Structure 1
């Protein structure tokens, strides 16, 4: 309770509280100054609270005294039980340990104030695990309480430890934990066989027997073998004092083994000597059962050598295999075709003889690696493979040949005995003594000779002075090449020798047309490019000529009979035709020779009309009168074409400046026509204007 000396009890003062927990955990009565806690206070959360109090005038709100500070201390009560950091502990202790052997220490904690009473004083006790173990009350150390605890009798123990505060007094709080204790093994028991005599049955190659976990010594045919762990009699040794080993079991070799097995501890604790000798012996009989084993070849691999010229069906070698079982089943042999894809070899299934089914060629393949399969006839699934290596030996069956192609030439100014080419040879065969070739001419040649260098090369020499390419440009020289193996093989190679023009130093300058280009530095590719350019130019010229020919009009005269005298010919380009079809003067002179009106040959008419025959003019009619008469007839004839037949103007391009010539009209009389406008058409029609306009002017002048 807070109280101010200025408080007269009339309620004029007001108490105010501030600080830790003020207004939440602690509240104050404004009139009396009493401080109250709003809820339960836990010392373990906070042990001290610092608060400030002040009294003020309720009316003026001014302090009547300075602010005062005070501390509230929370007194502890025993409200927390001891706790262990682990709910379950795990510990081990050797078996046969003496009483009082420490196992493990457990420790509990209490959140209460250790400085206030006995609230935090912890005492340990054992609730479960007696009489085997005990616990120290103050430290919590668990110790053995019984001597000679035997792991073979009991291995696991569960101990429950209690921690209680208030010094273990009544009313104290407590907590518990569980400790699982395991006894570890010590060598306190001598080895003992469950039976003094033991009979086992094993199968060949079977290694699935129960392992033994004790070191032991066994005696087999006066040989001492030591083993550790692993399987009995197929034991893999881990401590082998010598190089001895147990061979694989074989029913056909031996069917029964009798062993005297002695098991002994290598390390014994002196405390247990009183238990007697730490070893034991037993008699073990092992029977080996028979199993069906696959065939066994007489060798792990086979190597056969054969010459490449043997005949088909020749036996190159034989493989042998047997059945190791007592039944001795017959064996069948076969060849794995994956190792002989070309089917060059085959095998007799009954006796294992390998023979050839195709010719051999060492130059194609020198080695053949085969895989032979042996299987039992009674049990084909039991198979064994063996590799067979076949080496093909060389036979001299290939003739030597030129090593490369030789491009040989001889100068026109060559001297006798001059070297023109050095040749060499190759042979696919590989004789044991190495290659040796001999060179000679197939026949005596008056121009050239061969000189053997005796090092598998030869020189080609000239036999006379001077050669002329104009007389003979090329010589063919047959050269015979033979080897020294048996049987001797030989071949004839022909050298082509060209005659060329050379300088004084013997450098070739020209050999026919091709040789003339080669010294200029032109390669074959360059020659091909030049020929292509020439061909392209020729094609362009031909195309140009064809286009130009298409522009020319076909002549109107189709035969010799249609040749007539031309009135005028226009040789310039433009709207006029390049040629005109005129009347035959002979016909004009002889009107009786006029035939029926002919159709134009240069234009296909759209409509054909029945020709009308007109009366012929008198024999002595003037040409002008005849033309005028013909014009009149055409003007009055509705079937006449809309153009004059004096001249035909071929159409080229667009219309000309003078428009169409079909606008010309023919009058009934010569005086009705006015051809002055022809002069306005330009120089192309000057001659026509003179023909038709010139006569009129002459009349006028006369």
Structure 2
């Protein structure tokens, strides 16, 4: 009973000691000591004996120990002085990373009696690290249209120091375009933001290099630098410009088809699509489009149809160079067609007088006109006939010629002439045209009969009977027809001498009189022809007018009065109408003097776009020769509606084009002229455009679309407008074309993430290369500007080593295994960048989910390997348990086998003591193997065991006993 009572009393004393210790630990104030990192080994922290209220010698007797986290021996205790010293040089960044303040907990353990004192050592930072940028070189893309004040976040630097010694500010080397602002993130990190001060111009400076400096607050401060490469992204702010605004080309009209006649070239200071130039004809007529072809890429202009100088001698062609953003420049190509001698002269016979009487001097044989469609020497003409003919060619008016007899003809010499008129131009090579006709010479009674003999001697018997045939007298006559019919009669014979001479004289006088009469007649004819020529040259032409489409046979005018002729003279003088071009549009009724239409006239066919449309004609009077000039004005009627060359027009306009911007459109063609031609253009009502009517270099009216309101492709990517061309006829005619306006995208929208922030939980045992999340950003822009690429923004090395992102899909994968016990969560900043350099940001919170992958740990702080027997509730060992997992995975239970005389008692912060449950008896058992088992509560449960071997030492608790008792 006494022994049991004594043991109970000792147990109560031990329990009271633990209660006292627990109370003292719970109520005592923690002491914090301070040391600067990098302090040398042996640095004095404090006098521990004094701080815990012990004498120096008690430290040894009570077996004082200093324990810290992880069994790292940061401290040493000097038992002779009681001083607590540094056992090694401390690195604050290694111990605490970015955590501030950096606290190193440690415990002072006193074993006899047991006491646990908790203290803290704060490691004070020194400025031993410079700021370091994650990237030594950063590339920033910014649109040249970015307005001043635009802010662009940059990659931050990292400084392992904390507090004042950490990164404090960013500066930028002086430049004319940017300054830097230091911003603070939600997690406290400071990052630089580049701010635009002055508008950029890519064409002036496409790239800038800046030096960014990160400064900490140490004394002296440390710094780190990075180079910023600014790439100024192009916008379509430059229209193409032609090297020459005017090209003048001279090409022969016989240039072969497919020949390149000139090459136009335009340049655009912009880059990429905005600097790519394509060429096209601007408001080209149908004739130009049929004749020339323009290579849209090279600017080569080719001939696709044979030229004809006589039809068109000059082409004025407007060419447009357009870039990929819809801006355009203009130039003009003037093609002068050089005439070649490819047209032989033309001869048009107006009248031929056949036959003509002989003996008439300078009689008009034929009237004809000549022409040559060529120009210059190629169009100059000379006209000739054979040299051996008694005819002369005499020029009249407007390339008319008369063929007249040079001298009186003699039918008896030549009764028929084959006259060939040869018309030759002066070109190279010379071309000629010939026309042959036959002229018959009619007989006049200009030859007296001639006897076959100059004298006849006839012998007649006297007293012959009447009707007696006494002989034959024969005579001939060179004339023909009735002029050659002879009658014979006897006349008294001439007396010799004077009578015969007189007869001859009379005959000569008769011939002279006939010759003078002919000369007088020819002189009158020549004077008349010359007078007619003067009238044609100096008189005003007769002018008349008619509306096109007037029916054939319609009356135009009476010609007798304006020509100063009387009724019937037109018929008597063989009047007729001759036109310049062989086309007999007109008819003259010589009986009435009425000028009539032979056929219906089409002004557009006769004159095309030429205005006024005048049909030149001549009235030719044959006997005597006389010409009258006439002009017929063909008046236009509104018989054609405006027609656009295409049914649909596609117009591309960048969405950042400003109100007031002009966009020329394709003009319509109207074959009518004057007021009946195109007068104005209108466009269907809409909110963005109206139309102006302008005149081009040829005087044609074309439409120009004017932007009235800012565009937004994301709001409306396409517009359909109806363009109307109106002429001025009564009633007016119109033509329409559909104008499709495609709004070309500019990079005016930054990518936007679908979610922000993203939150995801990832098991720490997820294998590397696992997909943990897909981020998604959308960009309202189109094409390259809407193409999004993904990347980390200002990511630390740890994040880059732990995660990877697919820049195309936005898929985030693990690069290495996670460890919840090291990092429980990650905050990852994401950046989405479009093809134009604009960016969007999002935050991804990655929570690492703990799995039970760490077994509990046991750390023995003190162990008494030999315990005297009979000692009640003696402290055998002090140890600490820990599990790096969290939650249920980190909760622990501690146990020892039930059949041992020991107890486990928790003390402070996972500290346990192993004590004897009752006094031991060495004589019964002198050694114990105590296995401490620590199990967590995770799934699956993990456990750790540690076995302690305890020796029981002997005390003198047994009196000697005799083996025999003698009596």
Q: Same fold (TM over 0.5)?
A: no
Higher strand share: 2
TM-score (norm. length: structure 2)? 0.22
Larger Rg: 1
